[in-house]
């Protein structure tokens, strides 16, 4: 298994795994709109922070099946503080329940700490997403804060858990 830079070739696999606006919201929050278009991803890939790439988009690639089985984004939040954020973690439907999310997170953390030289990673997860919370804890993320929010489209309230992992390298 390895992380490979997200390309147009990976787009179809990602889009096929997002079949509703609810799934889009759980997967990506409000940064994308349903239905996902390649242009939205290109725009995200092209965002800059101080002239440097802000968002690093990857597929989890399995050479045994010669295909992508997941997707993840690493966003640089503060270049001076060396702080990043894990965004949009997804294992594609046919591969869920097989512990690939642990591999995906570990590879993303290694890339963040070793290649990007980040000191810490944060993420936000819906409080009802128990499987994701468990996975993040196994990867070394610690709960730091609970945020109360309201969906502007529906008026429904929800909670996000902010989690953080420090660079132990």
The bridge status of strand 157-166 relative to strand 142-150 is antiparallel
Structure-model confidence comparison of residues 169 and 69, the more confident one: 69
CATH numeric code, 2-119: 3.40.630.30
Residue with more model confidence, 65 or 36 = 36
Average of per-residue pLDDT across 2-12: 88
Distances (CA, A) of 91 to 8, 118, 166: 18, 24, 24
Averaged pLDDT score across all residues of the chain:
92
8-16 vs 38-45: helix axis angle to the nearest 10? 120
Using pLDDT thresholds of 50, 70 and 90, give the confidence band for residue 169. Answer: low
Confidence band for 7, pLDDT divided at 50, 70 and 90: confident
């Amino acid at each position: 298994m390895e992380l490979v830079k997200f390309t147009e070739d990976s787009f179809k696999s990602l889009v096929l795994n997002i079949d509703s606006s609810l799934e889009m919201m759980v997967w990506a929050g409000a940064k994308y709109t349903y239905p996902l278009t390649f242009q939205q991803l290109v725009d995200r890939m092209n965002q800059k922070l101080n002239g440097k790439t802000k968002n690093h988009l990857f597929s989890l690639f399995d050479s045994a099946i010669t295909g992508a089985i997941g997707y993840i984004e690493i966003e640089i939040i503060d270049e001076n503080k060396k702080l990043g954020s894990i965004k949009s973690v997804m294992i594609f439907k046919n591969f869920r329940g097989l512990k690939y999310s642990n591999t995906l997170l570990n590879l993303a953390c290694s890339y963040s700490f070793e290649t990007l030289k980040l000191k810490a990673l944060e993420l936000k997860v819906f409080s009802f997403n128990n499987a994701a919370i468990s996975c993040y804890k196994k990867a070394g993320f610690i709960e730091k804060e609970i945020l109360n929010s309201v969906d502007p489209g529906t008026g429904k309230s929800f909670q996000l858990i902010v989690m953080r992992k420090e660079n132990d390298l």
